[in-house]
Amino acid sequence: MATRTRRSQRRTEALSRAGIVEAAVELLDGAGEGGLTFRALAERLATGPGAIYWHVANKGELLDAATDAVVAAALAVEPAESPGSPRDEIRVVALGLFDAIEEHPWLAAQLSTHLSRSPWGSVTPRIFESVGRQVPALGVPQDGWFTTTSALVHYILGAAGQNAANSASAGALGAGVGRTEFLDSVAKAWEALDPDEYPFTRAVADQLRDHDDREQFLAGIDLVLAGVTAHPPSGD
Amino acid sequence: MATRTRRSQRRTEALSRAGIVEAAVELLDGAGEGGLTFRALAERLATGPGAIYWHVANKGELLDAATDAVVAAALAVEPAESPGSPRDEIRVVALGLFDAIEEHPWLAAQLSTHLSRSPWGSVTPRIFESVGRQVPALGVPQDGWFTTTSALVHYILGAAGQNAANSASAGALGAGVGRTEFLDSVAKAWEALDPDEYPFTRAVADQLRDHDDREQFLAGIDLVLAGVTAHPPSGD
DNA sequence: ACCTGAACACCGTTCAAGT
DNA sequence: ACCTGAACACCGTTCAAGT
């Protein structure tokens, strides 16, 4: 919902926090974390740098707000759909975050650093709730809920962040360079490592070259879920 | 090995890349990522900002070098010790990284962003090798090695990063505020969430309050390992 | 109440000049 | 070969002044 509020031709209809955050996300998407500047933001909003400070305390708060907006959108799935099994629901939430990070690569750093810089903020509970809601139905005893959910969230954020960085690298290599060429160049580098120090890494270079990000990501989720089923954690 | 090279009383004995990186780590440890400045670094090394550029291409390369130095130290365990089971070895490696991130909180953001910004660099293979080396002995078929190791590394980086942020938050709250007070304040915030939207998060607020970081971290590792044992991944 | 825009302190990086 | 330090372009943030 809400796709209007398109900035019209020339002057804006008054500044708003929501509009500022929206413009900030666009700048971040377009030019990465370095692209978000109060001056660039002001120009895009046809105002002066100082004006933004009336709606937002500082750059940190702006980044937090941008993060929250994007995460909220990613987790806003239809509530009364066909429910699906708990595992499927967790996969849906995880993939939602995975896709959001792929679409907004700056999210990865934001989630891993600033997210828990203020866990009382809205982002952490949002993610925690979406994942954890499914955990009781997995057969985990109540005193293992926190541990289980934490493990899932940690894996999701770690893996999604890693993949975002990979995508960003591929793009940064050059305009025409795709994931395939990028992975191939990394695999070549791995194969050139010292055989005495890096036997394992060399041995899996081919698997790196051929892997699919999403498949890999889901396989990891399944791994954690398999562990939950095999040995449900309890808080002893 | 090598704990000398202490900068003596006044002038330095010529600049070196290693000395610059060492000073950079100290600045990062002392004041976070914002504390690393070419001017501050130059002052600490009793030189001018320009001098550093003769040994280091730019700030990004400096951060990468600092990251690599710290990670290499963390993974440099005694090679010919009592070998231990593969699970124990993985726990040792994981805890080594966990501790390193706790000691150098700036590492978390570095690992999640810049690490894979250049996976051909030395940091990724180092971590990958240390963890993956134990995977074959876990009974995973060869075509599942990459998937398994990736899942473990992703969990480790995600969880360690999260915990680093928690520690940093506790410290930032105030000089005298410890982890206990910090966790308590977050738990209180969770308990104050909307019961309709956040039933699960509210239900585990107590478990958040009482949890131990390292215990939790290891429980997550065991969860992934249990999944590996229960359903060894294969690359189909 | 909300916006403007100059000003301040600071930063990464460059580079002519020194030794 | 290696270091110095002034200079450039840029940034977050503040704030007196406007409407």
Specify if A70 maps to a domain.
Answer: no
Specify if A62 maps to a domain.
Answer: no
Number of structural domains chain A divides into: 2
Specify if B101 maps to a domain.
Answer: yes
pLDDT tens by residue, B19-62: 999 999 999 999 998 999 999 999 999 999 999 999 999 999 99
Specify if A160 maps to a domain.
Answer: yes
Indicate if the pLDDT at residue B171 is higher than 70. no
Q: Is the CB of A14 under 7 A from strand C?
A: yes
Nearest to A231 by CA among A156, A138, A93, A132: A138
Confidence at residue A81, expressed as pLDDT on a 0 to 100 scale: 63
Is any Cβ of chain A less than 8 angstroms from the Cβ of B76? no
Q: Are residues A51 and A86 in the same domain?
A: no
Confidence at residue B117, expressed as pLDDT on a 0 to 100 scale: 64
Q: Are residues B206 and B98 in the same domain?
A: yes
Per-residue three-class SS string for B84-126: CCHHHHHHHHHHHHHHHHHHCCHHHHHHHHHCCCCCCCCHHHH
Q: Are residues A91 and A167 in the same domain?
A: yes
Q: Are residues A179 and A218 in the same domain?
A: yes
Question: Hunting for tokens 């666009």 — which residue is that?
Answer: A26
Specify if B50 maps to a domain.
Answer: yes
Q: Are residues A48 and A90 in the same domain?
A: no
Is any Cβ of chain A less than 8 angstroms from the Cβ of B162? yes
Q: Chain C: nucleotides under 7 Å from a protein CB? A: 2-7, 10-16
Point out the nucleotide closest to B39 (alpha carbon to C1′): C11
Q: Chain D: nucleotides under 7 Å from a protein CB? A: 2-7, 10-16
CATH of the domain at B32: 1.10.10.60
Confidence at residue A75, expressed as pLDDT on a 0 to 100 scale: 94
Strand C neighbours among B 164-193, CB < 7 A: none
Question: Hunting for tokens 């799935």 — which residue is that?
Answer: A77
Residue nearest to nucleotide D5 (CA to C1'): B48
Specify if A66 maps to a domain.
Answer: no
Between the CA of B60 and the C1' of C6, what is the distance in angstroms?
33
Q: pLDDT band for position B115 (50/70/90)?
A: low
Per-residue three-class SS string for A172-233: HHCCCCCHHHHHHHHHHHHHCCCCCCCHHHHHCHHHHHHCCHHHHHHHHHHHHHHHHHHCCC
Q: Are residues B86 and B201 in the same domain?
A: yes
Q: Are residues B107 and B183 in the same domain?
A: yes
Confidence at residue A14, expressed as pLDDT on a 0 to 100 scale: 84
CATH of the domain at A110: 1.10.357.10
Mean pLDDT by 10 residues, chain A (236 residues): 34 82 97 94 95 96 95 82 86 95 90 70 92 96 97 93 74 67 92 97 96 94 96 83
Confidence at residue B10, expressed as pLDDT on a 0 to 100 scale: 35
pLDDT tens by residue, B66-114: 999 999 999 987 665 667 899 999 999 999 999 999 899 899 888 877 6
Q: Which chain A residues touch B196 with a CB distance below 8 Å?
A: none
More confident residue, A118 or B199: B199
Shortest Cα distance, chain A CAs vs residue B98, angstroms: 13
Range(s) of the domain holding residue A15: 1-56
